[in-house]
């Protein structure tokens, strides 16, 4: 806490801030790690659908029980989230509707239904705000130590699974047909991964909310991809970028007043991606432009000759 | 005119315009791009307000159009570099733009006093309150004019460019070959989508516009194969769902926007299950029939190919079918006189006569 | 929608048949595979001879890849059965190597050539364990066999089409399998790669292994392959190249592309599997 003070920042350090930073850190780590797989498998937007489809579940959980504990609400969210994914798969499998359209349908309809329930709760609730709308944009300040414990456990489980099943996850993402032919059970691995992603999405609803959750699943992974040559380093770097986004986002949001945490985290993550896309060696855009220029110059050098008097011969 | 009627009419107009432009979004498989645009235009609205302090719908629409195009351009550019895949590109761009929008609104509440909730969820219930005054005359509800004009412009756009839109949705290469620019058409469409989106905000807000853009057309897809019919059905469903949504909202005492999205969902499920051509029920019935014909024909072909009578029990074993399935296939074939079964349990094609191999 | 629900039986699984050095490696009996009630492979009987290199040829859409996938258990079977090394595929998976078409994989994946080849060892390694030194050694040797030792640490996105194909082949070799099933191994590769692959296939054959390859180029069949199967949804003929690869058989195979005189019920309407261009149906 000394360093920020030295830099002239005045952070009012309290338990809430500590919780927010820790929660964002764990969330960033998990979404970076798990998001790597969904990005590589080109399934990034399923996380978005999961997040949006969770809203009605959260409301229903509240309506059925009257309690506002996070675990209960998020369990409801998990249930409808899974239903949403199932519906999406059913739609694309059993009709002409394309998968991405099915995603959009489930996302918007479930979310809309959730808003309907939410507003009904708000209108009928004598106490006024039920506070459920904090899941839409996230309200990191509501993270309790108890939530941190749950997040920590989920994170520990997810990381262990990723380590233990690393090679299965790798073949699943790279060549699922080959994996199936080898008896490596890509279907089972895929379901396990899906379960973990559902877990991290539910975690994220509290911190960054429904709308922005998808960014955490994509941005750190895409950023990491630009710098790495192997899957393991990509995952590690992605987790690091995620953590960095979480911490920097949380800290910067506490510095200014009225800077909401969720959008700040997303902004940091996005900036990291932009920098990575531009500046990474080899894959980065600036590097490509430079190489193209070098190539063009070499070609011109080959084509141009100078005669003995120093004049240019074409 | 009662408030209820006003709301329903405005809602129907909004639903119609979204259904109209949304048809092409869905056909061109750009549903998620529509989702992206509807999120990022928040930034457009915020910037317009920040810069001009005005909340004029025209400026908003232009600002939204600009940001919408920016979104599309960014996504395309990212995809073009090959660094990031299609879906990831979308998921990178819109959350960032949206986040910036939210930060600006939160950070500068005095300069940008947009009610974020209203923008995001819409409050069509307040629409009858804003009246349009020009030349000192009360020309009616303001929303009528904005939404009605938007619908009219959309209709004009689609009518004038119908064949361009049709051809470019089907085959971009061909479009270019016959002298139209598919890219121009693409961006024009996106601009109209963005503008329509922002006009629809008043009714359903940013987040639920997506539903109105996508679901009517997707539902229409399940009901027809003709483009003109698809557009018509899409427009109808958009309008009708808005009206139905209003009543659901009254019944449940919830947000009209959410109710509209729910109504759309119900419409889609209904079509999904019951469409005479593509509905689930129709499909299962048809497939049952087809599967039966299929295995019947397979049995006949198999016996014919063997060229000698085939024992009933070996058939079941060879095919790895249950006895029930095999028997039913054989009976179906026999009913059509395509195979005959002799007393010793051998199947053959009528008209061929030879002894089975022992 | 596939017809998987159609197939499964109350029939007891057949006992593994005795295998000797002359029994066929793959036995396909009465195999029918359909997509949405569209027959793609129809009532096929085929034996794959041990220790030979067999080609499967036929027109596009004739079910060649599908038949391969059916042998591998990657697609559901509407009727019939397949035996590999005398038993169900599941018990002999370790002995079967699959080289799919190149286009099925994302070549922008963060990995290098050696890593891909090492993946060929995963089937042997089993769940939860990591590749060890011996696995890496085998992978390196297989890379050498396809002439790509220098490319071991090269990112796969930087490999040419032919090099990618060779990496796939090396991955299959790393499995140390007895049967190799390849889907269009020579499609879109350069001459050097083609030479390399053919040489390797013959080496592998000479070592007593069996190779089956879906092949697209009729010219090269006599030179590269010992046996051939002519498939056009139905099997037209199969056997050794001199016996079966005749002009008459080829005419029969390629005459009705996709529908070798198949009798189908007039009521049978294929259900679109959604693969047509999005607005194709609307242009009227």
Tell me the per-residue pLDDT of A131-141, one tens digit each, with 9 for 90 and over: 777 888 888 88
Residue-level pLDDT at C260:
41
Interface contact flag, C80 B227, Cβ < 8 Å = no
Distance in Å, alpha carbon of B205 to nearest chain C alpha carbon: 29
In sequence order, which residues have a C-beta less than 8 Å from that of residue A142 and are 6 or more positions away? A70, A131, A134, A206
CA distances from C282 to A97, A167, B170, B228, C245 (A): 15, 45, 8, 8, 44
B82-111 confidence digits (pLDDT tens): 788 878 899 999 999 989 988 888 887 766
Helix ranges (DSSP H) in chain C: 4-7, 64-71, 89-92, 113-119, 122-125, 133-145, 161-174, 191-206, 221-224, 241-244, 247-255
What are the DSSP calls for C161-215, one per residue? HHHHHHHHHHHHHHTT-SEEEEESTTTT--HHHHHHHHHHHHHHHHTT-EEEEE-
Residue ranges of chain B whose CB lies within 8 Å of a chain C CB? 27-29, 82, 166-167, 169-171, 225-227, 230, 283, 286-287, 289-291, 293-298, 300-302, 305, 316-323, 325
Residue-level pLDDT at B141:
67
Interface contact flag, B320 C42, Cβ < 8 Å = no
Distance in Å, alpha carbon of B66 to nearest chain A alpha carbon: 21
Residue A62 is encoded by which pair of tokens? Answer: 């509240």
Q: What residues in B contact A42, CB-CB < 8 Å?
A: 85-88
Residue-level pLDDT at A185:
87
A280 touches chain C (CB under 8 A): no
Residue-level pLDDT at C274:
30
Residue A82 is encoded by which pair of tokens? Answer: 């899974």
Q: Indicate the pLDDT class of residue A1, thresholds 50, 70 and 90.
A: very low
Cβ atoms < 10 Å from Cβ of B81: 14
Cα torsion A150, A151, A152, A155 to 10°: value is 130
- Given CA atoms C7, C8, C12, C16 in this order, what sign does their dihedral have? positive
B171-225 confidence digits (pLDDT tens): 777 777 777 788 888 888 988 888 888 888 767 777 778 999 999 999 999 999 8
CA distances from C256 to B282, C59, C61, C259 (A): 32, 9, 11, 6
- Closest alpha carbon within chain C to B336: C265
Q: Alpha-carbon distance B212 to B214, whole Å?
A: 6
Q: What residues in B contact A124, CB-CB < 8 Å?
A: 253
Task: Please name which of B256, B58, B238, B23 lies closest in space to residue B153, comparing C-alpha atoms.
Answer: B58
Q: Indicate the pLDDT class of residue A56, thresholds 50, 70 and 90.
A: very high
Q: Indicate the pLDDT class of residue A221, thresholds 50, 70 and 90.
A: very high
Assess whether pLDDT exceeds 50 at residue B356: yes
In sequence order, which residues have a C-beta less than 8 Å from that of residue B178 and are 6 or more positions away? B167
- Closest alpha carbon within chain A to C93: A182
Residue ranges of chain C whose CB lies within 8 Å of a chain B CB? 1, 3, 6-11, 29-30, 32, 34, 36-37, 39, 42-43, 77-81, 108, 262-265, 267-269, 271, 277-284
- Closest alpha carbon within chain C to B226: C282
Instruction: Please identify among residues 15-44 of chain A the ones whose CB lies closer than 8 Å to any CB of chain C.
Output: 40, 42
Tokens 């089993």: give the residue. C126
A240 touches chain C (CB under 8 A): no
Tokens 């050794």: give the residue. C240
Distance in Å, alpha carbon of B269 to nearest chain A alpha carbon: 10
Interface contact flag, A175 C98, Cβ < 8 Å = no
Q: Alpha-carbon distance A293 to A301, whole Å?
A: 12
Question: Could you tell me if C118 and C173 are in contact, meaning their C-beta atoms sit under 8 angstroms apart?
Answer: no
Distance in Å, alpha carbon of C30 to nearest chain B alpha carbon: 6
Interface contact flag, B31 A103, Cβ < 8 Å = yes
Task: Please name which of C40, C45, C32 lies closest in space to residue B329, comparing C-alpha atoms.
Answer: C32
Instruction: State the DSSP code for B28.
Output: T
What are the two backbone dihedrals, phi and then psi, of residue A254, each rounded to the nearest 5 degrees?
A: -85, -20
- Closest alpha carbon within chain A to C168: A178
Chain B neighbours (≥3 Cβ pairs under 8 A) are A, C
- Given CA atoms A75, A76, A78, A83 in this order, what sign does their dihedral have? positive
Task: Please name which of B333, B303, B297 lies closest in space to residue B315, comparing C-alpha atoms.
Answer: B303
Task: Please name which of B122, B147, B145, B141 lies closest in space to residue B16, comparing C-alpha atoms.
Answer: B147
Interface contact flag, B91 A285, Cβ < 8 Å = no
Question: Could you tell me if A254 and A12 are in contact, meaning their C-beta atoms sit under 8 angstroms apart?
Answer: yes
Task: Please name which of C137, C202, C128 lies closest in space to residue C174, comparing C-alpha atoms.
Answer: C137
Residue-level pLDDT at C265:
33
Instruction: State the DSSP code for A13.
Output: -
Burial (Cβ within 10 Å: 0-12, 13-18, ≥19) of residue B247: middle
Q: Reading across the β-sheet that carries C227-232, which strands appear in turn?
A: C96-99, C179-183, C210-214, C53-57, C227-232, C234-240
Cβ atoms < 10 Å from Cβ of B181: 14
Instruction: State the DSSP code for C12.
Output: P
Q: Which of B171, B186, B320 has the highest number of chain C CBs within 10 A, making it the mutation to test binding with C?
A: B320
- Given CA atoms A18, A20, A23, A28 in this order, what sign does their dihedral have? negative
Q: Alpha-carbon distance A152 to B13, whole Å?
A: 49
Residue-level pLDDT at C1:
38
Q: What residues in B contact A110, CB-CB < 8 Å?
A: 265
Strand C179-183 relative to strand C210-214, pairing: parallel
- Residues of B127-155 as b/e, b for ≥16 C-beta within 10 angstroms? bbeeeeeeeeeeeebbbbebbbbbbebbe
Q: Alpha-carbon distance B118 to B124, whole Å?
A: 9
Work out the percent of chain A whose per-residue pLDDT is above 70.
Answer: 91
- Residues of A9-19 as b/e, b for ≥16 C-beta within 10 angstroms? eeeeeeeebeb
Question: Could you tell me if A140 and A21 are in contact, meaning their C-beta atoms sit under 8 angstroms apart?
Answer: no
Least confident interval from A11-20, A220-229, C7-16, C163-172: C7-16
What are the two backbone dihedrals, phi and then psi, of residue B338, each rounded to the nearest 5 degrees?
A: -95, -25
Report residues of chain C scoring pLDDT below 70. 1-19, 256-284
Chain B / chain C CB contacts < 8 angstroms: 109
Distance in Å, alpha carbon of C115 to nearest chain A alpha carbon: 9
In sequence order, which residues have a C-beta less than 8 Å from that of residue A289 and are 6 or more positions away? none
Cβ atoms < 10 Å from Cβ of C274: 14
Q: Indicate the pLDDT class of residue B132, thresholds 50, 70 and 90.
A: low
In sequence order, which residues have a C-beta less than 8 Å from that of residue C192 and are 6 or more positions away? C162
User: Which region holds residue B105: left if phi is over 0, alpha if psi is between -120 and 50, else beta?
Assistant: alpha
Of C32, C81, C269, the CB nearest to B298: C32
C219-274 confidence digits (pLDDT tens): 999 999 999 999 999 999 999 999 999 999 999 888 854 444 343 333 233 322 23
Q: What residues in B contact A95, CB-CB < 8 Å?
A: 222, 272, 278, 280
Interface contact flag, C1 B287, Cβ < 8 Å = yes
Tokens 């910036």: give the residue. B100
Residue-level pLDDT at B7:
85
Residue B110 is encoded by which pair of tokens? Answer: 């005095």
Residue-level pLDDT at B35:
86
Q: Between residues B347 and B297, which one has the greater pLDDT?
A: B297
Interface contact flag, C43 B287, Cβ < 8 Å = no
In sequence order, which residues have a C-beta less than 8 Å from that of residue A266 and are 6 or more positions away? A208, A212, A215, A216, A219, A245, A249, B95, B96, B99
Helix (H) or strand (E) run with residue C35 in it = strand C26-35
C-alpha C215: how far from chain center: 10
Residue-level pLDDT at C280:
29
Mean pLDDT of A274-301: 87
Helix ranges (DSSP H) in B28-112: 31-52, 57-81, 86-107
Mean pLDDT of B274-303: 89
Q: Alpha-carbon distance B217 to B229, whole Å?
A: 11
C-alpha A88: how far from chain center: 20
User: Which region holds residue B76: left if phi is over 0, alpha if psi is between -120 and 50, else beta?
Assistant: alpha
Q: Alpha-carbon distance B314 to B301, whole Å?
A: 15
Distance in Å, alpha carbon of A184 to nearest chain C alpha carbon: 7
Residue C8 is encoded by which pair of tokens? Answer: 């499964």
Distance in Å, alpha carbon of C84 to nearest chain A alpha carbon: 13
Number of separate helices (H) and strands (E) present in chain C: 11, 9
Interface contact flag, A212 B99, Cβ < 8 Å = yes
Q: Which of A43, A58, A112 has the highest number of chain B CBs within 10 A, making it the mutation to test binding with B?
A: A112
Of A174, A181, A231, the CB nearest to C72: A181
Question: Could you tell me if B43 and B206 are in contact, meaning their C-beta atoms sit under 8 angstroms apart?
Answer: no
Distance in Å, alpha carbon of A285 to nearest chain B alpha carbon: 8
Task: Please name which of A32, A19, A21, A91 lies closest in space to residue A227, comparing C-alpha atoms.
Answer: A32
Residue B302 is encoded by which pair of tokens? Answer: 């198999």
Q: What residues in B contact A264, CB-CB < 8 Å?
A: 99, 103
Q: Alpha-carbon distance B72 to B74, whole Å?
A: 5
- The total number of residues shown for chain B amounts to 358
Task: Please name which of A126, A152, A116, A112 lies closest in space to residue A29, comparing C-alpha atoms.
Answer: A152
Q: Alpha-carbon distance A245 to A266, whole Å?
A: 7
Interface contact flag, C30 B227, Cβ < 8 Å = no
Q: Which of C90, C110, C121, C164 has the highest number of chain A CBs within 10 A, making it the mutation to test binding with A?
A: C110
Map residue B1 onto helix, strand or coil. coil
Helix ranges (DSSP H) in A175-304: 176-181, 186-207, 209-225, 231-255, 261-279, 285-303
Distance in Å, alpha carbon of A131 to nearest chain C alpha carbon: 43
Strand B340-341 relative to strand B346-348, pairing: antiparallel
Residue-level pLDDT at B112:
63
Q: Indicate the pLDDT class of residue A127, thresholds 50, 70 and 90.
A: low
């Amino acid at each position: 806490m000394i360093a920020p003070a030295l830099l002239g920042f005045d952070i009012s350090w309290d338990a809430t801030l500590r919780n927010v930073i820790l929660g964002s850190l764990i969330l960033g780590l998990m979404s970076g790690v798990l998001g790597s797989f969904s990005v590589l498998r080109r399934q990034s937007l399923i996380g978005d659908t999961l997040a949006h489809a969770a809203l009605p579940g959260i409301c229903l959980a509240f309506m059925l029980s009257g309690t506002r504990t996070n675990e209960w609400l998020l369990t409801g969210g998990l249930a409808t989230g899974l239903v949403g994914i199932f519906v999406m798969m059913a739609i694309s499998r059993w009709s002409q509707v394309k998968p991405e359209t099915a995603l959009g349908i489930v996302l918007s309809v479930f979310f809309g239904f959730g808003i309907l329930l939410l507003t009904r709760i708000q209108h009928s609730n004598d106490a006024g705000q039920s506070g459920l709308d904090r899941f839409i944009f996230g309200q990191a300040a509501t993270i309790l130590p108890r939530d941190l414990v749950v997040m920590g456990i989920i994170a520990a489980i997810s990381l262990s699974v990723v380590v233990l099943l690393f090679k299965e996850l790798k073949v699943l993402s790279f060549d699922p047909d080959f994996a199936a032919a080898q008896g490596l059970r890509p279907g089972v691995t895929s379901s396990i991964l899906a379960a973990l992603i559902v877990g991290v999405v539910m975690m994220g609803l509290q911190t960054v909310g429904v709308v922005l959750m998808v960014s955490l699943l994509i941005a750190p992974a895409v950023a990491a991809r630009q710098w790495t040559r192997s899957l393991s380093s990509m995952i590690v770097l992605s987790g690091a970028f995620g953590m960095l986004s979480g911490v920097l986002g949380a800290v910067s949001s506490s510095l200014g007043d009225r800077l909401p945490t969720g959008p700040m985290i997303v902004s940091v993550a996005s900036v990291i991606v932009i920098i990575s896309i531009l500046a990474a060696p080899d894959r980065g855009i600036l590097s490509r432009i430079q190489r193209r220029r070098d190539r063009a110059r070499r070609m011109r050098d080959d084509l141009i000759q100078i005669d003995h008097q120093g004049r240019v011969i074409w | 005119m009662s408030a209820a009627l006003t709301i329903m009419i405005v809602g129907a107009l909004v639903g119609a315009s979204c259904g109209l432009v949304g048809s092409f979004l869905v056909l061109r498989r750009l549903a998620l791009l529509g989702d992206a645009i509807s999120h990022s235009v928040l930034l457009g609205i915020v910037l317009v307000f920040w810069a001009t302090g005005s909340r004029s719908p025209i400026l908003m629409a232009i600002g939204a159009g600009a940001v919408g195009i920016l979104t599309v351009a960014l996504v395309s550019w990212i995809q073009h570099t090959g660094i990031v895949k299609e879906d990831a590109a979308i998921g990178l761009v819109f959350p960032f733009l949206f986040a910036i929008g939210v930060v600006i609104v939160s950070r500068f509440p005095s300069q940008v006093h947009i009610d974020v909730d209203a923008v995001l969820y819409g409050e069509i219930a307040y629409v009858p309150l804003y009246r349009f005054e020009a030349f000192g005359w009360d020309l009616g509800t303001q929303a009528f004019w904005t939404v009605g004009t938007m619908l009219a412009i959309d209709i004009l756009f689609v009518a004038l460019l119908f064949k361009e839109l049709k051809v470019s949705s089907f085959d971009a290469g061909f479009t270019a070959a016959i002298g139209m620019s598919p890219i121009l058409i693409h961006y024009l469409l996106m601009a109209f989508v963005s503008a329509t989106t922002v006009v629809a905000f008043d009714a359903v807000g940013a987040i639920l516009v997506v539903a109105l853009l996508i679901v009517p057309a997707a539902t229409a897809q399940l009901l027809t194969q003709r483009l003109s019919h698809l557009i018509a059905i899409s427009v109808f469903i958009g309008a009708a769902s808005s009206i139905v949504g209003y009543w659901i909202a009254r019944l449940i005492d919830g947000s009209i926007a959410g109710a509209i999205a729910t109504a759309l969902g119900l419409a889609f499920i209904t079509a999904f299950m019951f469409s005479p051509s593509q509905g689930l029920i129709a499909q299962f019935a048809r497939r049952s029939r087809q599967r039966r014909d299929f295995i019947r024909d397979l049995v006949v072909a198999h016996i014919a190919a063997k060229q000698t009578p085939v024992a009933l029990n070996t058939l079941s074993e060879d095919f790895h079918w249950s006895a029930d399935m095999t028997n039913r296939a054989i009976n179906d074939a026999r009913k059509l006189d395509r195979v005959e079964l002799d007393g010793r349990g051998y199947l053959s094609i009528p008209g061929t006569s030879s002894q089975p191999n022992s | 929608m596939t017809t998987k629900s159609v197939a499964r039986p109350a029939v007891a699984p057949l006992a593994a048949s005795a295998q000797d050095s002359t029994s066929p490696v793959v036995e396909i009996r009465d195999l029918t595979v359909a997509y949405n009630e569209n027959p793609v492979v129809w009532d096929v009987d085929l034996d794959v001879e041990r220790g030979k290199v067999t080609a499967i040829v036929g027109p596009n859409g004739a079910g060649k890849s599908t038949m391969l996938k059916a042998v591998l258990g990657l697609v559901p079977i509407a009727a019939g059965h397949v035996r590999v090394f005398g038993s169900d595929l599941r018990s002999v998976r370790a002995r079967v190597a699959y080289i799919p078409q190149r286009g099925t994989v994302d070549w922008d994946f963060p990995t290098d050539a050696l890593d891909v080849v090492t993946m060929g060892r995963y089937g042997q390694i089993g769940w939860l364990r990591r590749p060890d030194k011996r696995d890496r050694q085998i992978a390196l040797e297989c890379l050498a066999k396809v002439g790509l030792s220098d490319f071991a640490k090269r990112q796969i996105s930087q490999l040419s089409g032919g090099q990618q194909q060779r990496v796939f082949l090396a991955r299959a070799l790393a499995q140390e399998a007895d049967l190799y099933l390849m889907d269009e191994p020579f499609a879109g590769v350069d001459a050097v790669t083609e030479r390399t692959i053919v040489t390797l296939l013959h080496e592998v054959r000479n070592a007593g292994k069996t190779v089956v390859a879906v092949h697209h180029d009729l010219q090269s069949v006599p030179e590269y392959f010992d046996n051939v199967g002519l498939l056009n949804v139905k099997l037209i003929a199969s056997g050794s190249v001199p016996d079966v690869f005749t002009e008459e058989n080829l005419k029969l195979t390629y005459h009705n592309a996709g529908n070798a005189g198949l009798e189908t019920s007039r009521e049978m309407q294929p259900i679109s599997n959604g693969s047509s261009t999005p607005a194709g149906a609307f242009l009227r």
